[in-house]
Structure 1
Amino acid sequence: MRKETRKTLILPFCFLINIFNAQVGIGTNNPQGALHIDGAKDNPASGTITPAQISNDVIVNKTTGFIGAGVLNPQVQLDMRSAGSENSLGLGTTTMSAVTAGAGATRYDVTSTPVGAKIEVSDGVAWNKAYIAPQKAVVVIRKISSQSIPSASATTIINWNEVRDMSNSFDPSSGEFTAPRDGTYTFLLTFNFSGAVISDGSRVESQFYNPATSTVLASVYKTFGQSMTGTSDDANSTRSTQAGGSSTVTLTLTAGTKVSVRLYQNLTTGSIPLRVTSNASDPANPDDGFNNLTIIEH
Structure 2
Amino acid sequence: MRFLIFSCGVFYSSVNPLFSQVGIGLKNPQGALHVDGAKDNAATGTPTAAQAANDVIINKTTGFVGVGVFNPQVKMDMRSAGTENALGLNTTTMNAVDAGAGAVRYDVANIPVGPKIEVSDGMVWHKAYIAPQKAVVVARKISTQSIIPNSATNINNWNVVRDMSNSFDASSGIFTAPRDGTYTFLLTFNFNGAVINDGSRVESQFYNTTTNTVLASVYKTFGQSMTGTADDANSTRSTQAGGSSTVTLTLLAGTKVATRLWHNLVSSGSVELRVTTNPADPTNPDDGFNNLTIIEH
Tell me the TM-score normalised to structure 1 length: 0.88
* 1:170-202 deviation digits (Å, cap 9, x = unpaired): 222221111122222221111111222212222
* Distance 1:200-1:118 versus aligned 2 partners, 3 A rule: same
* 2:292 matched residue in structure 1: 293
Counterpart of 2:269 in structure 1: which amino acid? G
CA distance in 2, matches of 1:148, 1:32: 73
* Distance 1:34-1:229 versus aligned 2 partners, 3 A rule: same
* 1:163 matched residue in structure 2: 161
CA distance in 2, matches of 1:133, 1:296: 15
* Distance 1:95-1:147 versus aligned 2 partners, 3 A rule: same
- Structure 2: which 5+ runs fail to align? none
CA distance in 2, matches of 1:281, 1:83: 44
CA contact (8 A) 2:198 2:227 kept: no
- For 1:1-298, list aligned pairs within 5 A: 12=7, 14-225=12-223, 227-268=225-266, 269-298=268-297
* Distance 1:280-1:40 versus aligned 2 partners, 3 A rule: farther
Q: Which moved more, 1:222-231 or 1:86-95?
A: 222-231
Structure 1 position 235, deviation (Å): 4.1
* 1:93-141 deviation digits (Å, cap 9, x = unpaired): 0111222211111111121123533211112222222223333222222
* Distance 1:115-1:160 versus aligned 2 partners, 3 A rule: farther
CA contact (8 A) 1:112 1:118 kept: no
- SS at structure 1 position matched to 2:142: coil
CA contact (8 A) 2:187 2:244 kept: yes
Structure 1 position 246, deviation (Å): 0.8
Over 4 Å off, 4+ runs: none
CA distance in 2, matches of 1:105, 1:134: 24
Counterpart of 2:270 in structure 1: which amino acid? S
CA distance in 2, matches of 1:285, 1:25: 72
- SS at structure 2 position matched to 1:14: strand
Tell me the TM-score normalised to structure 2 length: 0.89
Q: Which moved more, 1:244-253 or 1:32-41?
A: 32-41
CA distance in 2, matches of 1:32, 1:173: 58
Percent of paired sites with the same residue = 77
- Structure 1: which 5+ runs fail to align? 1-9
* Distance 1:281-1:24 versus aligned 2 partners, 3 A rule: farther
CA distance in 1, matches of 2:79, 2:134: 28
Counterpart of 1:289 in structure 2: which amino acid? G
* Distance 1:282-1:30 versus aligned 2 partners, 3 A rule: farther
CA contact (8 A) 2:6 2:12 kept: no
* 1:195-251 deviation digits (Å, cap 9, x = unpaired): 222122222111100111111111111121152334444444432211101111121
CA distance in 2, matches of 1:18, 1:295: 65
Structure 1 position 49, deviation (Å): 2.8
CA distance in 1, matches of 2:241, 2:256: 28
Counterpart of 1:296 in structure 2: which amino acid? I
- SS at structure 2 position matched to 1:53: helix
